[in-house]
Amino acid sequence: MINKIGKKYSKKRDTILQVIQSTTSHPSAQWVYEKIKLWIPSISLATIYRNINLFRQHGSVVSVGVVDGAERFDGIVTPHPHFVCSRCGMVIDIPCPDMEILKAILGDHGENLQSFIVDYRKTVFYGFCTDCRDKALLLENYGLSR
């Protein structure tokens, strides 16, 4: 049996997880907080952090790492590479080869690697997204034309 308070907490928890899982933007805790506040005005940023930590322990959310000073989270927990725009902080998923292919590649590099067991991987590419690349080119052209 779930008491009233327990139910309220688990409902909050479900909402927080749903918000993280419903976006591909790899949100920060602050972003999640701003969204949830629209539905649950009484929620605190500390509650968001506490629940995100729980999700991480349970493996339902993973950390993408710190981008522009804020840790970013992913509701897609299957390992996949990310692209991070160094200018605007956009984080996008990159389709990646299957783990089996990766193992085969590792195996090609000697028997030592072949005997390794890979159970975790994290790949991040940094650069400019299309918008930021265009803006950077514009600024460059503007600078050159002066």
User: Which parts of this chain interact with Zn ion (CB under 5 A)?
Assistant: 74, 85, 87-88, 90, 93, 129, 132
DSSP 57: H
Q: How far is the CB of 37 from Zn ion (least distance, A)?
A: 24
Nearer to Zn ion by Cβ, of 19 and 129: the residue is: 129
Nearer to Zn ion by Cβ, of 17 and 129: the residue is: 129
β-partners of residue 65 are 72
Euclidean distance between the first and final Cα of the chain, in Å? 72
Q: How far is the CB of 105 from Zn ion (least distance, A)?
A: 22
What's the CA gap between 95 and 112, in Å, rounded? 28
Q: How far is the CB of 76 from Zn ion (least distance, A)?
A: 5
Nearer to Zn ion by Cβ, of 69 and 110: the residue is: 69
Q: In this structure, how many other beta carbons lie within 10 angstroms of the beta carbon of residue 2?
A: 10
Q: How far is the CB of 128 from Zn ion (least distance, A)?
A: 6
Nearer to Zn ion by Cβ, of 116 and 126: the residue is: 126
- Number of H helices and E strands in the chain, helices first, is 6, 5
